[in-house]
Amino acid sequence: MSKVLNKGDICLVNFEPTKKDKIGKLRSAIILSDNQDSTLFSTVVVVPLSSLVITDNQPYRYFISKRHQLKQDSDACIYEIRSLSKSRVGNKIGSVSSDELDDIRQALCELL
């Protein structure tokens, strides 16, 4: 049985191996794929989080306050959006609100 991944979940994700200048290591990330997409495909779209918070840096970053098992305030690194294998996704450690998810989507639209 495959893991259920829901849009807006914050999960631990293994970003290794990476290419030069990409966010790497095991870190938290927000699941952006629709629930239906994550059952149809072997990949999932995520936005990695960074504990290095940079204020007033939208649309490139979006502030996510610590919550649940996300132990530090973080920035969603919107410019680092990735599609990767679901096998790289670990445990859920939290989730973002629907308002936060809408703000992240809006920032993505501004970048694209």
1 is a domain residue: no
What is the tally of structural domains in the chain?
A: 1
2 is a domain residue: no
Of 66, 75, 83, 60, which Cα lies nearest the Cα of 13?
Answer: 83
29 is a domain residue: yes
Cα separation, 49 vs 13, in Å, equals 10
71 is a domain residue: yes
4 is a domain residue: no
Could you read off the pLDDT of 30-61 as tens digits, one per residue? Answer: 999 987 776 788 999 999 999 999 999 999 99
Could you read off the pLDDT of 83-110 as tens digits, one per residue? Answer: 999 999 999 999 999 999 999 999 999 9
Average pLDDT over all residues of the chain? 91
Instruction: Considering only residues 63 and 39, tell me which one the structure prediction assigns the higher pLDDT.
Output: 63
pLDDT of residue 19: 64
42 is a domain residue: yes
pLDDT of residue 6: 93
- The CATH number of residue 101's host domain is 2.30.30.110
The one-letter amino acid code at 51 reads S
81 is a domain residue: yes
Cα separation, 59 vs 79, in Å, equals 8
pLDDT of residue 1: 47
